[in-house]
Amino acid sequence: MTILLNDKPYEVAEKTSLATFVESLGIARQGIAVAIGYEVVPKELWDETILSDRMALMLIQAVSGG
């Protein structure tokens, strides 16, 4: 199935959790947030949040600086 992350398509297996998907990207959980439908998903729910076909995700990464 295909999901969109920041408008870029990714192929993922059926029943993939948000946590598994983020791990597959090689991105550390610290300093990022993921929103589905413009609503941030709390990290404690990532394991139980199952992705579905054509789901649109937005990944937001904190950056330090000034």
The neighbour count for residue 56, using CB atoms within 10 Å, is 13
CA atoms of 62 and 32, how far apart (whole Å): 6
- pLDDT for 66: 58
Coil vs helix vs strand at 59:
strand
Spell 2-24 as b/e; 16+ CB within 10 A means b.
ebebeeeeeebeeebbbbebbee
Contact 5, 36 (CB under 8 A): no
Going from the N-terminus, what domains does the chain have, and what CATH number goes with each? 2-61 (3.10.20.30)
The list of the chain residues with pLDDT below 50 reads none
Q: Please tell me the pTM assigned to this model.
A: 0.89
